[in-house]
Amino acid sequence: MSFLYSRQALFCVLGLLPMAGASAEGFIDDSKLKLQLRNVYFNENFRDEHGMSARAARTAKSERTEWAQGFLLDYQSGFTQGTMGFGIDALGLLGVKLDSGRGRSGTGLLPVHDDGRAADEFASAGVTAKARFAKTTVKYGTLLPKTPVLIYNDARLLPQTYQGTQISSSDIENLTVTGGYLDRFKLRDSTDSVPIVPDGFSGDKSGDFSYAGAEYKLGKDIRLSYFHGELDNFYRQNFAGIQHDLPLAGGVLTSDLRYFHSADTGSAFDGKIDNDMLSGQLSYAIAGHTMGGGYQTLSGDAGLPFISGATVYSFSNAGIGKFIEEDEKTWMLNYGYNFAAAGVPGLTFSARYLSGNDGKSDTTVKEWERDTELAYVVQGGTLKGLGVRLRNYVYRSDYSRGRDSNRIYLTYDIVLW
């Protein structure tokens, strides 16, 4: 584990606390400690060998199946009292193998050794120093960024984490401004803190990632956002979005329009990038039902760039595919139901279908995916907060391997104080 940022953040806070000139009552009284338990079973079966050589197809895995237990200990202090408040956050992560095998590893739940076997366990920790003035907060250390140009990945056992500095401010009513600078990260199935690279890049270069942007609420029904992100010597990216809620016939019609422009920058270590991605989705929610559809088009050179392992802020970021290849056009349909409307609070169902065409990779891209999910969270009693989530993904493509995936998530949040 790398504790460089942890030590620096801790020393920073300890050094600043006496300078606060006020008692640390808020630091202790407003602190929170939560333990989240995650038990994840992951099964994935490959259905074809598109995009593989005959030799690779003979040696490729036919399935990946693993079962693991995760522990996430999250501590968040309050802030010291006074004009300038100081605090500290800490995050402890532990993953334990319950079932795996050399021929079934590589699901993303656990690290994989050079011999192809999954690690029995893996752990990491991070500390974040923070300071607050009015409604502006600065954090330094372990971060979980969540912006349109970078979203940390939390879709497996443990979350992806980053190291750097972030500032956020909501001093102006209805406006939130965010900026940050990151220089290292850990993948969701690794304890190694490594330099940042774009997804799919296999060279020996890396870069620091910086981002800045704002979100503004225009009244109660319109939300505007703009963000800029740049990975040094790889790519820069601009994002603009608008969301609108319209009360209609007893329900709410939500329109969501997103635009990305990406281009290579500096030494362009990952090649030429110059593309635009425009996507839009309409959804209508009424009486527990939510129905929607959308369309996404990518044009220009290369696919949409993003940080290795991160989640992409697109409607097409599905369970398996991302549908963001060069020149790809994607249709999307989705449906969800909240059973609280039928008297069963905590039970939800969702399904979506995506179809992508005309994309370019090594060959012409044509792909589709169908995802379904059934989830339930206990609403009261001794087991309040216990959740179970069942997911089924079916993916087919003419340029990569088709997959059927079943995943079971058991989660339980324990508030320690």
The per-residue pLDDT for range 329-373, each reduced to its tens digit, is 999 999 999 999 999 999 999 999 999 998 887 777 899 999 999
At residue 205, φ and ψ (nearest 5 deg) are -95, 160
Return left, alpha or beta for 248; rule: phi > 0 is left, psi -120 to 50 is alpha, else beta: beta
DSSP secondary structure string, 17-55?
GGGG-S-SHHHHHT-EEEEEEEEEEEEEEE---TT--HH
- Is 268 within a domain? no
Q: Which two tokens stand for residue 400?
A: 């990569």
The answer to whether residue 33 sits within a structural domain is: yes
* pLDDT tens per residue, range 65-79: 999 999 999 999 999
- In angstroms, the first-to-last Cα distance of the chain is 27
How many folded domains does the chain comprise?
Answer: 1
**What confidence score (pLDDT) does residue 20 get?**
44
Whether residue 270 lies inside any domain: the answer is: no
Task: Kindly list the distances between the CA atom of residue 209 and the CA atoms of 8, 204, 228, 380, in Å, as whole numbers in the listed order.
Answer: 20, 16, 11, 43
Q: Which residues contact 33 (CB under 8 A, 6 or more apart)?
A: 73, 74, 75, 76, 415, 416, 417
Assign 24 a pLDDT band (cuts: 50, 70, 90): low
pLDDT at 12 over 90: no
Please enumerate in sequence order all residues whose Cβ is within 8 A of that of 127, keeping only pairs 6 or more positions apart, or say none: 5, 6, 7, 9, 10, 88, 89, 90, 91, 141, 142
pLDDT, tens digit (0-9, with 9 covering 90-100), for 387-398: 999 999 999 998
Residue 110 lies in a domain: yes
pLDDT digits (tens, 9 = 90+) for 203-258: 999 999 999 999 999 999 999 999 999 999 999 999 999 999 999 999 999 999 99
Residue 107 inside a domain? The answer is yes
Q: pLDDT at position 103, please?
A: 86
Residue 69 lies in a domain: yes
Q: Is residue 85 part of a domain?
A: yes
**Other C-beta atoms lying within 10 Å of the C-beta of residue 89:** 21
Host domain of residue 38: 1-133
Cβ proximity of 367 and 12 under 8 Å: no
**Minimal CA–CA distance to 280: which of 325, 240, 221?**
240
Half-sphere exposure of 169 (CA within 13 A, CB side): 11
In a domain, 17, yes or no: yes
* pTM, to two decimals: 0.90
Pick from 91, 116, 109: nearest CA to 190: 109
Is-contact 70 92, C-beta < 8 A?
A: no
